[in-house]
Amino acid sequence: MISFRFKHVCLESFGLNFPTTQLTSTEIEERLAPAYQRLRIPFGTLERVSGVTTRGMWPPTVTPSSVATVAAREALDLSGFRPDQIGALFNCSVSRDYFEPATACLVHHNLGIPEESLVLDITNACIGFSDGLIMLAHLIEAGTVKAGILCSGETISKVVHATFDQLLGDQEITREKMLQMLPTLTLGCGAVAVVMCHDSISTTGHRFVGGVARSASQHHQLCIGNGDFSFHQGNEITPIMTSDAAQLMIAAAKLGGRAFPDVTALLGWSKDHIDHVFCHQVGRQVNEAFYREMGLDYEKEFSIYKRYGNMVSAALPAALAIGAKEKNIQPGEKVLLTAFGSGLNTRFLGFEW
């Protein structure tokens, strides 16, 4: 178990950017009707199992850097900081514009942040943003930078369309294989950004207290995406993701069960101290399994996957940004973020508002 504590790190502002075009689970199943009928999969399975009703879709021509820039610019404007006050910018998405350069470089250029800054990509499946929070917090705590931006623009339309094509075009696909591909169809597009800073220049006082990390890599084959989800990869690579959802859910819940006592011991919190929980926004089954394992009050959870789908690395920070307003989180309340990502990795992070 890896743990970390911070005394001087604050969440200062959020930025969000979502598609206007929505794709419902019903529309997806209507499109897949021939495959559903051939394999005798009941209509309604996708929404019933995942809990996802709808998700946003950008056109396949939309780049990750362009949507991340919109979210990052909003977060920067709301923070009140100038671009020349930003010492680091990390892009944390699975989706990327190119193999290289880093997508962060494009966002950095778009925002007009000066040369004297640290700019790079952090990619780690769905927990890339959580890792970005940890890395930027260490830089701020150490005094290396006073303020920084994290962003993630997930444009997953290509992988969704590729999944449609394979499920409808390959008459040899088995029922088991189709069920392994269905989790891909819970994905949604979206972008989010966060500005973090040293408490000496913070106006919000939303403190990042600390957290823990665990990596159960024996489960690395439970969810695999082939190729690379970069926008400019051309047609040579067809991105496809497959998941053993049942085993992944079990392994994630057990891993979370080991991480939860770690984080409560580190932060000095009991489950009763925690006011709000933002669980990994992948779907209903994983969330419910986690709460059963932890024994946490389900009423403390805030989720957005029903209306936004699984926005990969943007999902959890977007839930926090939306939930902070919709739940009206009050000063002094304790917030726990529980992130899971293929690999299998988990990050449990604690905040005091």
| DSSP tag of 283 | -
- Which residue out of 27, 30, 100, 326 is catalytically annotated? 100
* 206 phi, psi to nearest 5 deg: -80, 100
Q: Which residue has 């307003």 as its token pair? A: 325
Indicate the length of the chain as a whole number. Answer: 353
Indicate if 126 belongs to the active site: yes
Which structure tokens are listed for 339?
């992130």
Q: What is the distance between the alpha carbons of residues 103 and 96, in angstroms, rounded to a whole number? A: 6
Q: What is the distance between the alpha carbons of residues 238 and 235, in angstroms, rounded to a whole number? A: 7
* 15 phi, psi to nearest 5 deg: -135, 140
Residues 6+ apart with CB under 8 A from 179: 41, 245
Pairing of strands 54-56, 241-243: unpaired
Q: What is the distance between the alpha carbons of residues 48 and 306, in angstroms, rounded to a whole number? A: 11
- Which residue out of 105, 126, 197, 279 is catalytically annotated? 126
3-class state of residue 183 by DSSP: helix
Instruction: List beta partners, residue 190.
Output: 154
Of residues 96, 90, 102, 93, the one with CA closest to residue 134: 90
Indicate if 100 belongs to the active site: yes
| Residues recognised as catalytic | 100, 126
